[in-house]
């Protein structure tokens, strides 16, 4: 790159009375070539008023400042050439604080029953919104350090990525910049009649612009008993403070709902440090509850922001669902402090590297350490894996590595979908099961150390995984990230041989030859149930493959680890259904879930007959064992899907489907009951709610 930013000295002044902000920045640059033009990002609502560049003591005044609104860029032209080497660019701008937008730097107005002055302002810059708050080189690879100074009316709390360095109302605390900060951001009284307060923060480590964050408002700590929480780094033995803030006037502040988020953070941070053997480096972690927030939460290092639903849990009324949302959200965002913040993707087409890893490591691996009784990997199979399979079998799907042509909001936004999150994390789960959990974590740690403070692509991760496992991971994973879709593996028994064939699976039916072009490198996990319950792992790299047939019952996708569907012969499928309801069932719950999901998907897409699906569901529902919520969730969903699919058919067809549903639900309701009982577990309550809801649709008489 011709111009590289090294550091930003950024000063922001916020005026709530005028709903405006102004700023100055001093950007240390490294120029690699002769140039007469500096181009960086800046767009609405910024109005850039002044610029100056200093190189080797000489000041260069621009001959023009031109804004390209379409490309969201600011071009600064000079009459004289700038030489290769170091230079300092100074800029001054103003902007409006909008209450409508939920990105860039914006304000959250006070609610109707709150006193005036309780509005607050926050930032949200991912993916390309930093340019709406300050002129910058707004690209993930353009990393730099940031020294931030915030000016606000006295009495407000100022938060940022790094710890506070000093606080004063004295002009002397303002940094001196090439565009005369004191002149542009003087400390005259604010429009509200109060003095200005200046808060300076420590310089951050090297980071991308989309991770810069600050907030100004009347905030209150929601820590346990309003005392600070912390953890001791197992790497440095240094205490790292953890705090949760929310707007003082909000009603939930009075109930002190920050315990679950802070407890999760305090327990998760040391786990991550030990897993990666890398200490967290921002000195503190603040959580800030934002009432108007576009994302669920955002992983700004040192200042994680999020919705109330994502960060607050009331133990008295919230229930397990609320607790799980907060726990998984905090664990997910904390994972990003290494995977995404310390090491960032090279561009937004590799977003899945950030989000897939944070989903798998944060929401499954680490949450399992925190809450082993939650069976989070089983839940992952029912939710993330199932959702990824449902999306990726559509003709409208796209590869995990999604080409992003421009560094603009609309172009980048397409990458933020369940293919990046759900499929990305499911592929990492598949890799973890294939090379082993220990090698997988070792590969992650090696990758983070090798690329700390840098930017990467998928190839960099695969290389570290190969070094840790001895497996040719790039060869195995290339088709999964670069190609759209996934296969269905058709199993055919021929004497003592299993004939396997892989073809692209589509929800609309068998793929045509034109569409069915990809041959995936597919990890088979053959699990045989007879004799010593032998296991075999094998990579399928061809369209068709023959392997020895195991004796007795078997499956070819052990633990539902592979990202593919399996079509078994009808007789073998019937045997698997009987095994699934056996008191001594040897199929794990993920395997049973995957079997049910595959059977339903194959039928609804026309790959197999509906009658075989109904027979499989009837067998699965007839178990005399304790009913399992996760299986019944998918059964109820399948019944609802059938009613939706055939809603235009004759009344007798609809009634036939409802009659089938009633034949399954009535025995279930006889066993679990129609109402909650004292002592019901959370899963039992969920199962009852599910059964009653499905019974209403199927018109089961009470």
- Looking up tokens 């009347």, which residue turns up? 218
Decide if 566 contacts 574 (C-beta within 8 A).
Answer: no
pTM over 0.85: yes
Distance CA 239, CA 244 (A): 17
Distance CA 207, CA 343 (A): 9
649 secondary structure, DSSP code: S
Whether residue 176 has pLDDT greater than 60: no
Q: Annotate 326-379 with DSSP letters as a single string.
A: HHHHHHHHHHHTTBTTTBEESSGGGHHHHHHHIIIIIIIIIHHHH-GGG-HHHH
Residues 126-141 have a mean pLDDT of 96
Grade residue 625 by pLDDT with cuts at 50, 70 and 90.
Answer: low
Distance CA 296, CA 290 (A): 10
Whether the link from the prior residue into 30 is cis, omega within 30° of 0, is no
Residues 66-95 have a mean pLDDT of 95
461 secondary structure, DSSP code: H
Residues 92-102 have a mean pLDDT of 91
For residue 664, the model assigns a pLDDT of 84
Distance CA 628, CA 502 (A): 32
Decide if 433 contacts 152 (C-beta within 8 A).
Answer: no
Nearest to 537 by CA among 550, 527, 551, 546: 527
For residue 149, the model assigns a pLDDT of 98
Residue 103 CA, chain-centre distance (Å), reads: 18
Whether residue 267 has pLDDT greater than 90: yes
Residues 331-356 have a mean pLDDT of 95
Taking only the tens place, the pLDDT of each residue in 632-673 is 888 888 888 887 777 777 777 788 888 888 888 888 888 888
Nearest to 662 by CA among 634, 696, 637: 696
**Known binder of ligand: residue 313?**
no
Percent of the chain with pLDDT over 70: 92
Q: Do domains 1-217 and 344-482 have the same CATH topology?
A: no
In this structure, of 61-70, 485-494, 618-627, the range with the lowest mean pLDDT score is: 618-627
Catalytic center residues: 333
- Looking up tokens 């639903």, which residue turns up? 309
For residue 178, the model assigns a pLDDT of 43
Q: Annotate 595-635 with DSSP letters as a single string.
A: HHHHHHHHHHTTSS-HHHHHHHHHHHHT--S---HHHHHHH
In this structure, of 365-374, 501-510, 580-589, the range with the lowest mean pLDDT score is: 580-589
The better pLDDT of the pair 625, 268 is held by: 268
Query: How do the domains of the chain map onto residue ranges?
Result: 1-217, 223-342, 344-482
Taking only the tens place, the pLDDT of each residue in 389-433 is 999 999 999 999 888 777 777 778 777 788 889 999 999 999 999
Distance CA 56, CA 504 (A): 61
For residue 1, the model assigns a pLDDT of 66
Residues 614-641 have a mean pLDDT of 82
Cβ contacts of 223-230, under 8 Å, gap ≥ 24: 223/258, 223/262, 224/256, 224/258, 224/259, 224/262, 225/256, 226/256, 229/262, 229/263, 229/265, 229/266, 230/266
- CB contact burial 477-512 (16+ within 10 A = b; e otherwise): bbbbbebbbbbbbbbeeeeeebebbbbbbbbeeebe
Distance CA 357, CA 336 (A): 8
Which residues are within 8 A (CB) of 467 and not within 5 positions of it... i.e. 6 or more apart? Answer: 443, 446
Whether residue 573 has pLDDT greater than 60: yes
**Known binder of ligand: residue 332?**
yes
Which residues are within 8 A (CB) of 361 and not within 5 positions of it... i.e. 6 or more apart? Answer: 275, 335, 339, 444
Distance CA 288, CA 306 (A): 6
For residue 277, the model assigns a pLDDT of 97
Whether residue 228 has pLDDT greater than 70: no
**Cα separations in angstroms, 243 against 235, 240, 362:** 21, 10, 20
Nearest to 581 by CA among 631, 527, 637, 533: 631
Distance CA 481, CA 400 (A): 5
Q: Which CATH code is given to the segment(s) 223-342?
A: 1.10.390.10
**Known binder of ligand: residue 637?**
no
The SS3 assignment for 224 reads helix
Whether residue 702 has pLDDT greater than 50: yes
Sign of CA dihedral 397, 400, 402, 408: positive
Distance CA 305, CA 215 (A): 10
Taking only the tens place, the pLDDT of each residue in 531-570 is 655 666 789 999 999 999 988 899 999 999 999 999 999 9
Q: Which CATH code is given to the segment(s) 1-217?
A: 2.60.40.1730
Q: Which CATH code is given to the segment(s) 344-482?
A: 1.10.390.10
- CB contact burial 157-194 (16+ within 10 A = b; e otherwise): bbbbbbeeeeeeeeeebbbebbbebeebbebeebeeee
Across 58-185, where does the E strand assignment appear?
58-60, 64-68, 73-82, 85-96, 104-108, 120-124, 145-153, 157-160, 164-168
Residues 133-147 have a mean pLDDT of 97
Taking only the tens place, the pLDDT of each residue in 302-324 is 999 999 999 999 888 888 889 99
Quote the tokens at residue 111.
Answer: 């609610």
Residue 203 CB burial class (10 angstroms; 0-12, 13-18, ≥19)? middle
Distance CA 650, CA 654 (A): 7
Residue 112 CB burial class (10 angstroms; 0-12, 13-18, ≥19)? exposed
Average pLDDT over all residues of the chain: 89
For residue 604, the model assigns a pLDDT of 87
Taking only the tens place, the pLDDT of each residue in 423-449 is 999 999 999 999 999 999 999 999 999
Whether residue 189 has pLDDT greater than 60: no
Decide if 65 contacts 40 (C-beta within 8 A).
Answer: no
**Cα separations in angstroms, 458 against 141, 324, 345, 473, 520:** 15, 30, 8, 11, 17
Distance CA 296, CA 376 (A): 20
Grade residue 19 by pLDDT with cuts at 50, 70 and 90.
Answer: very high
Across 42-103, where does the E strand assignment appear?
47-55, 58-60, 64-68, 73-82, 85-96
The SS3 assignment for 594 reads helix
Decide if 141 contacts 346 (C-beta within 8 A).
Answer: yes
Quote the tokens at residue 564.
Answer: 């593919």
Decide if 620 contacts 577 (C-beta within 8 A).
Answer: yes
Residue 108 CA, chain-centre distance (Å), reads: 24
For residue 174, the model assigns a pLDDT of 56
382 secondary structure, DSSP code: I
């Amino acid at each position: 790159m011709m111009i590289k930013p090294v550091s930003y000295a950024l000063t922001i002044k916020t005026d709530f009375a005028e709903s405006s902000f102004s700023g100055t920045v001093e950007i240390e640059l490294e120029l690699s070539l002769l140039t007469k033009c500096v181009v960086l990002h800046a767009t609405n609502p910024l109005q850039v008023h002044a610029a100056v560049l200093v190189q080797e003591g000489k000041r260069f005044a621009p001959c023009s400042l031109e804004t390209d609104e379409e490309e969201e860029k600011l071009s600064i032209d000079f009459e004289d050439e700038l030489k290769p080497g170091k230079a300092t660019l100074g800029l001054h701008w103003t902007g409006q604080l909008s209450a409508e937008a939920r990105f860039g730097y914006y304000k959250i107005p006070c609610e109707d029953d709150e006193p005036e002055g309780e509005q607050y302002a926050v930032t949200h810059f991912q993916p390309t919104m930093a340019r709406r708050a300050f002129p910058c080189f707004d690209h993930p690879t353009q990393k730099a350090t940031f020294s931030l100074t915030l000016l606000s009316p006295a009495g407000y709390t100022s938060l940022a990525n790094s710890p506070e360095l000093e606080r004063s109302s004295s002009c002397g605390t303002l940094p001196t910049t090439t565009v005369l900060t004191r002149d542009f951001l003087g400390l005259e009284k604010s429009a509200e009649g109060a003095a200005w307060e200046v808060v300076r923060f420590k310089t951050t480590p090297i980071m991308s612009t989309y991770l810069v964050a600050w907030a100004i408002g009347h905030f209150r700590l929601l820590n346990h008993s309003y005392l600070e929480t912390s953890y001791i780094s197992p790497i440095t033995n240094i205490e790292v403070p953890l705090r949760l803030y929310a707007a003082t006037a909000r009603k939930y502040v009075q109930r002190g709902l920050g315990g679950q988020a802070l407890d999760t953070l305090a327990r998760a941070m040391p786990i991550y440090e030990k897993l990666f053997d890398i200490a967290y480096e921002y000195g503190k972690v603040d959580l800030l509850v934002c009432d108007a927030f576009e994302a669920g939460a955002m992983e700004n290092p040192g200042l994680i922001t999020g919705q109330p639903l994502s960060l607050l849990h009331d133990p008295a009324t919230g229930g397990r669902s609320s607790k799980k949302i907060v726990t998984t959200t905090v664990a997910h965002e904390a994972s990003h402090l290494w995977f995404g913040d310390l090491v960032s993707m090279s561009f937004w087409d590799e977003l899945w590297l950030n989000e897939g890893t944070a989903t798998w490591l944060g929401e499954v691996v680490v949450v399992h350490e925190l809450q082993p009784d939650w069976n989070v990997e089983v839940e992952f199979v029912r939710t993330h894996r199932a959702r990824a399979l449902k999306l990726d079998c559509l003709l409208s799907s796209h590869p995990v590595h999604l080409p992003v042509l421009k560094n603009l909001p609309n172009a980048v936004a397409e990458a933020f979908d369940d293919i990046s999150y759900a499929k990305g994390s499911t592929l990492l789960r598949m890799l973890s099961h294939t090379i082993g959990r220990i090698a997988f974590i070792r590969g992650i740690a090696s990758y983070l150390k090798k690329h700390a403070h840098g930017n990467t692509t998928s190839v960099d991760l695969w290389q570290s995984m190969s070094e840790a496992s001895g497996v040719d991971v790039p060869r195995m994973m290339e088709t999964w990230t670069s190609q759209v879709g996934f296969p269905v593996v058709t199993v055919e028994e021929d004497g003592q041989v299993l004939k396997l064939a892989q073809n692209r699976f589509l929800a609309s039916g068998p793929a045509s030859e034109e569409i069915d072009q990809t041959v995936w490198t597919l990890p088979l996990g053959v699990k045989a149930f007879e004799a010593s319950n032998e296991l075999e792992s094998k990579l399928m790299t061809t369209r068709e493959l023959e392997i020895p047939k195991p004796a007795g019952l078997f499956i070819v996708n052990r633990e539902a680890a592979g990202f593919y569907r399996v079509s078994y012969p009808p007789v073998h499928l019937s045997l698997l259904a009987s095994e699934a309801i056996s008191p001594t069932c040897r199929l794990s719950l993920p395997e049973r879930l995957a079997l049910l999901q595959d059977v339903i998907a194959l039928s609804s897409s026309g790959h197999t007959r509906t009658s075989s699906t109904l027979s499989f569901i009837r067998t699965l529902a007839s178990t005399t064992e304790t009913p399992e919520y996760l299986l019944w969730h998918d059964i109820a969903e399948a019944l609802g899907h059938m009613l939706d699919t055939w809603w235009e058919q004759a009344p007798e067809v609809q009634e036939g489907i409802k009659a089938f549903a009633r034949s399954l639900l009535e025995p279930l309701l006889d066993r679990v009951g129609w109402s909650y009982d004292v002592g019901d577990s959370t899963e039992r309550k969920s199962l009852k709610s599910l059964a009653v809801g499905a019974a209403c649709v199927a018109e089961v008489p009470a």
